[in-house]
Amino acid sequence: MSSQTAIRASLIRGGTSKGLYFHADDLPDDVATRDRVLLAAMGSPDVREIDGVGGGHPLTSKVAVVRRSTRPDADVDYLFLQVWPDRAEVSDNQNCGNLLAGIGPFALDQGLIEPRGDVTSVRIWMENTQSLAVARIQTPHGEVRYDGDARIDGVPGSAAPIPIEFLDIAGSTCGSLLPTGHVLDVVNGIAITCVDNGMPVVCLRASDVGLSGYEDPATIEADAAVCARVEELRLAAGTMMNLGDVSAKTVPKMSLLAKAEHGGVVTTRTFIPKRVHEAIGVFGAVSVATACLLPGSVANELCGISTVSGEANLQIEHPSGYFDVTMDVAVSGHDVNITSAALLRTARLLMRGDVYVPRSIWSRRDH
Ligand code: NQM
């Protein structure tokens, strides 16, 4: 008998992240056992994740669990799990819009749904935030097409475009778009805007913590005093955003803003939360773009956009380029409602097969 348990899995780049994608049925039902299996598969805890397939960074230590949906409005359900590289912890407290880009290709590839013509719309129920996304996947000749000429910043080369649309993500984690009830709060003397349009994010001026906002991620991570100050703000903001004690949580994200440098609306450096993102998360970008449209927010003051009803295209600058977000905006009096958001991602299947974990961690016969 083999000393290892083989588990069906695919390794997929989704947007600017990378992770293992599983059928829910191939993992243990018991959450504690499932988490031990995922930690072993990724090689956590170990900063290099040398004894697993994780990449030693939160952006490359991710898992998607997918099943056929029983909901009438969805094709598949998607649960995102963040596997911490450096500590033995698996967290479901946030969503991931980057791995989301790989869900349609995975579901089609694995026969969880059938292709429908040259482009298949896949309706995805995002379990972490209890909200829907629709991703349009290129399926000429009944197969997922991965090559194409769509480019996203943070990924070399080009690939098939995957446009994704969200309808109802406002307040999906914190309960409301403005979880503190205000567009502007002051914490430790620093003005912040707390927003949740798919991801809880705290926007603040980079200059308020002594940065220009144009530094590269490694320079910011090396500045222990800045990191401590940002974390202190995050802990305070987390409570104000109805998230409780966030010391062990991956939300809220902290987005340090400065005036746009390259023609976008604003420049961002985002703590996710202990590392600084090389780009920006998908829902993170949607939340920052939303803050840009809210009069009186830290972001709006920096970018000076006057909000109008209708379609708004916003380019959010980040350390490796731009993130384009398109939103439908409805303004009524002082209220600004974002009725939908859309963006472009790409994804690529990198490997399909079995990932192995020691049998002592999970023997499928115990399942
Ligand atoms: O905000 C990083 C990423 C993410 C999450 C993070 C994401 C999102 O870049 O939707 O995609 O903020 O933890 O994958």
Residue 59 belongs to some domain of the structure: yes
| DSSP per position, 221-288 | HT-HHHHHHHHHHHHHHHHHTT----TTSS-SEEEEEEE-SSSSSEEEEEESSSSBPSS--HHHHHHH
Residues 324, 153: Cα–Cα separation, whole Å: 10
Same domain, 333 and 360: no
Per-residue confidence (pLDDT) for residue 289, from 0 to 100:
97
Question: Is residue 68 assigned to a domain?
Answer: yes
pLDDT at position 335 is: 81
Assess whether the C-beta atom of 97 lies below 6 angstroms from ligand 1: yes
Span 96-122, mean pLDDT? 98
pTM of the model: 0.94
Distance 284 CA to ligand 1 centre (A): 6
**Percentage of the chain surpassing pLDDT 90?**
94
The answer on pLDDT for 40 being more than 80 is: yes
Of residues 331 and 145, the one with the higher pLDDT is 145
Give 276-285 pLDDT, tens digit per residue.
Answer: 999 999 999 9
Average pLDDT over residues 311-336: 91
Distance 17 CA to ligand 1 centre (A): 8
Amino acid 365: pLDDT: 66
Ligand 1 nearest-atom number relative to CA 95: 10
The pLDDT, as a whole number, for residue 337 is: 86
Q: Are residues 337 and 220 in the same domain?
A: yes
Best CA proximity match to 67, nearest among 19, 114, 127 = 127
| Confidence class for position 123, pLDDT limits 50, 70, 90 | very high
Decide: 98 in ligand 1 pocket, CB within 6 A: yes
Q: Is 139 in the pocket of ligand 1 (CB under 6 A)?
A: no
Q: Are 278 and 206 contained in the same domain?
A: yes
Question: Both 351 and 302 in a single domain?
Answer: no
Give the whole-angstrom CA distance, residue 251 versus residue 147. Answer: 34
Residue 333 pLDDT grade (very low, low, confident, very high; cuts 50, 70, 90): confident
In this prediction, residue 307 has a pLDDT band, given cuts at 50, 70 and 90, of confident
Alpha carbons 104 and 262: distance in angstroms, whole number? 33
For the CA of 15, the closest atom of ligand 1 is 14
What pLDDT shows up at residue 364?
Answer: 80
Nearest-atom index, ligand 1, CA of 287: 1
Q: Is the pLDDT of residue 171 over 80?
A: yes
pLDDT, mean of residues 331-345: 87
Q: Whose alpha carbon is nearest atom 4 of ligand 1?
A: 281
196 is in which domain, residue-wise? 185-342
Q: Kindly report which listed range (28-42, 92-106, 320-334) carries the lowest average pLDDT score.
A: 320-334
Measured from the CB, is residue 282 less than 6 Å from ligand 1?
A: yes
pLDDT, tens digit, for every residue of 52-75?
A: 999 999 999 999 999 999 999 999
281 lines ligand 1 (CB under 6 A): yes
- Ligand 1 geometric centre to CA of 135 (Å): 17
User: Does residue 284 have its Cβ closer than 6 Å to ligand 1?
Assistant: yes
In a domain, 313, yes or no: yes
Distance of CA 265 to the CA centre of its chain: 21
349-359 mean pLDDT: 98
Q: Are residues 128 and 222 in the same domain?
A: no
Residues 305 and 362 in one domain: no
Q: Report if residue 174 sits inside a domain.
A: no
- Same domain, yes or no, for 66 and 99? yes
Question: Cβ–Cβ contacts within 10 Å for residue 97, how many?
Answer: 26
Tell me the average pLDDT across 114-143: 97
Identify the CATH number of the domain in which residue 49 sits: 3.10.310.10
Cis peptide before 140 (omega within 30 of 0): no
Residue 203: inside a domain, yes or no? yes
User: Would you call the peptide bond into 319 cis, given omega within 30 degrees of 0 as the criterion?
Assistant: no
Ranking 2-11, 152-161, 172-181, 330-339 by mean pLDDT, the lowest is 330-339
Q: Examine residue 177 and state whether it is found in any structural domain, yes or no.
A: no
Q: Please tell me the predicted confidence (pLDDT) of residue 168.
A: 85
Q: Is 135 in the pocket of ligand 1 (CB under 6 A)?
A: no
In ligand 1, the atom with minimum distance to the C-alpha of 97 is 10
Residue 315 above 80 pLDDT? yes
Instruction: Give every CB contact of residue 277 below 8 A, 6+ residues apart in sequence.
Output: 59, 217, 269, 270, 271, 284, 318, 319
Q: Please work out whether the CB of residue 251 comes within 6 Å of at least one atom of ligand 1.
A: no
Q: Please check the confidence at residue 96 and state whether its pLDDT lies above 70.
A: yes
Number of domains, the chain: 2
Q: What is the pLDDT of residue 367?
A: 45
Q: What is the pLDDT of residues 252-263, one digit of tens each?
A: 999 999 999 999
Spatial separation of the C-alpha atoms in residues 339 and 311, rounded to whole Å: 10
User: Do 271 and 134 fall within a single domain?
Assistant: no
Q: Given a cut of 80, is residue 35 above it in pLDDT?
A: yes
Cα separation, 264 vs 317, whole angstroms: 6
Question: Residue 204 to residues 65, 189, 192, 233, 269: CA-CA distances in angstroms?
Answer: 34, 11, 5, 10, 10
